[in-house]
């Protein structure tokens, strides 16, 4: 049984497509790049944004950090609320909490933003631990985020078999794996076909109901 459940946020509990892609679009415009098709920016949902600006557009670290700063001009006021909670997600968290599970948020989104989103959707109280990235980028890799969650829970190597990560992208799977934790994937998010399987997710849920059943009933 999984006694400790770590959830990613974007693409796992909520659908942040509109807010993230519009903020990336805004940042790119500040860098002289016009991208009218928001669907071309879906890869920015999940990974650290500086890394993705560098990977997709070949930005230098300095230019990627400038783009991130422009992204953060728009996100707190508008992008944060251009977001939707997946149907059934709140009920799933309530059921897990009632069953005695310890629940954590482990997201690459800056922690203050993540906490505001949880508050906005009235699900913050379900979480025992909330860990996100830091604004200074000292903690933005998913492996570092997961490590901090495990630290706050006081998880030892002997406890790790009772811990599971839930996420929708390979970054969730790989970040958990670096900490000796397995991952359940969720197809509702923004992974490319085969991405979660290739990364090593031990199970891939088709929807929130499937995910809830797996988390509650796996022995």
Distance CA 139, CA 45 (A): 17
**pLDDT(107) > 80:** yes
Helix (H) or strand (E) holding 97: helix 89-98
Q: At what angle do helices 89-98 and 208-217 cross, to 10 degrees?
A: 10
Mean pLDDT (whole number) for 154-182: 96
Tokens for 98, please give them: 């009632």
What is the chain's percent helix, strand, coil content, to nearest 5? 50, 15, 35
Distance CA 213, CA 153 (A): 24
What are the Cα distances from residue 190, in Å, to 92, 154, 185?
A: 20, 31, 11
Give the residue numbers marked as catalytic. 8
- State residue 47's pLDDT score: 86
**pLDDT(215) > 80:** yes
Q: Which residue segments constitute the domains of the chain, with CATH numbers given?
A: 4-15+84-217 (3.40.50.1000), 17-81 (1.10.150.240)
- Name the pLDDT band for 140 (thresholds 50, 70, 90): confident
Structural Rg of the chain based on CA atoms:
17
- State residue 138's pLDDT score: 84
pLDDT digits (tens, 9 = 90+) for 27-61: 999 999 999 999 999 999 988 899 999 999 999 99
22 close to 38: Cβ distance less than 8 angstroms: yes
Distance CA 182, CA 175 (A): 10
């Amino acid at each position: 049984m999984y006694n400790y459940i770590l959830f990613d946020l974007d693409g796992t509990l909520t659908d942040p497509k509109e807010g993230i892609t519009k903020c990336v679009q805004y940042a790119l415009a500040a860098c002289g790049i016009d991208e009218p098709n928001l669907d071309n920016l879906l890869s920015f949902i999940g990974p650290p944004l500086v890394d993705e600006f560098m990977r997709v557009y070949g930005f230098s670290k300095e230019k990627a950090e400038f783009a991130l700063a422009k992204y953060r001009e728009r996100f707190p006021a508008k992008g944060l609320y251009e977001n939707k909670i997946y149907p059934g997600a709140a009920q799933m968290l309530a059921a897990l909490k009632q069953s005695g599970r310890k629940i954590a948020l482990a997201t690459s989104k800056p922690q203050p933003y993540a906490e505001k989103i949880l508050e906005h959707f009235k699900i913050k109280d379900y979480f025992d631990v909330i860990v996100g990235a830091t604004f200074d980028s000292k903690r933005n890799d998913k492996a570092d985020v997961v490590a901090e969650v495990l630290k706050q829970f006081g998880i030892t190597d002997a406890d790790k078999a009772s811990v599971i990560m839930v996420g929708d992208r390979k970054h969730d799977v790989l970040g958990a794996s670096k900490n000796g934790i397995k991952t359940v994937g969720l197809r509702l998010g923004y992974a490319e076909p085969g991405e979660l399987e290739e990364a090593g997710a031990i199970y891939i849920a088709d929807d929130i109901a499937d995910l809830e059943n797996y988390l509650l009933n796996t022995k």
